[in-house]
Amino acid sequence: MKVHLRLLRFNPETDGEPHFEEYTVEADPMDRLLDCLHQVKWRHDSSLALRRSCAHGICGSDTMLINGVNALACKVLVKDMKQPVTVEPMRGLPVIKDFIVDMEPFFAGYRAVKPWLIPDPDAHEPARERIQTPDERERFDDTTKCILCAACTTSCPIFWSDTEYVGPAAIVNAHRFIFDSRDYGSRERLQILSGKGGVFKCRTAFNCTAACPRGIKVTKAIQEVKRAALYDTF
């Protein structure tokens, strides 16, 4: 079948402003949008710039705005796309070229919440692994699924307009450690997230939950972090 693509192109070295270019490629209904973009790059215009790696929905590198919705190009099937298929870069991050955006603001928010295990500072290194019960592990299981694709964060209208907001993905990754029974950094993270650019910037638009390609209940995690910050319930 023929697939009609409408791609937002922008090369800051040669273009005054972003503009749409249209392409038509042949594809099987079970092909993915990423396959179509590869056809454009390999057979029509080698200057097309995009990120991709695993092509199986794990690395999270090919997040794009597809027909107005954030998604991974490697997970969207041709048969499910309304034509013409409009593809744009993620919103809220500076465009380097075409669909490649500068991810540094996203990762700055991620780093700000200390997304790593902080052990008991008064304890010696354990002689064996730190044990958890199944219930303790289940408490934060959902937020371990994040692949840092930025789909949730760049779907958030607060993130688009407020450069200080750490964004949904950062809060999801903070949640993963705040509710980890082995971690001793929860209060420190909650202090960070109670600040000006933290969790209370969220206005519960639910865009983040709808955009997540891993099915994480992002808005629920954000609300749980809010409650923990207010009531010390972690």
Query: 105-152: per-residue pLDDT in tens?
Result: 999 999 999 999 999 988 888 888 889 999 999 999 999 999 999 999
Q: Hey, what amino acid is at 15?
A: D
Is the pTM value of this prediction over 0.85?
A: yes
Residue ranges, comma separated, of all CATH 1.10.1060.10 domains in the chain are 104-231
Q: Is residue 66 a contact partner of residue 5, using CB atoms and an 8 Å limit? A: no
- Condensed to tens digits (0 to 9), the pLDDT of residues 195-205 reads 999 999 999 99
pLDDT by residue (tens digit) across 1-45?
A: 999 999 999 999 999 999 999 999 999 999 999 999 999 999 999
**Which class is 2-101 in CATH?**
alpha beta
Q: φ, ψ for residue 121 (rounded to 5)?
A: -65, -20
pLDDT of 233 reads: 73
In terms of DSSP H, where are the helices of the chain?
A: 33-39, 104-112, 134-138, 157-161, 168-178, 186-193, 207-211, 218-231
Is residue 26 exposed (0-12), middle (13-18) or buried (19+ Cβ within 10 Å)? exposed
Residue whose pair of structure tokens reads 């289940």 in the numeric block: 138
Average pLDDT over residues 77-89: 97
Domain with CATH 3.10.20.30 in the chain: 2-101
Residue closest to 111 by CA, chosen among 1, 37, 197: 197
Q: What is the pLDDT of residue 224?
A: 97
Q: Which two tokens stand for residue 97?
A: 């070229």
What is the number of helices (H) and of strands (E) in the chain? Answer: 8, 7
Name the CATH superfamily, with its identifier, for domain 104-231. Alpha-helical ferredoxin (1.10.1060.10)
Q: Residue 126's pLDDT is what?
A: 83
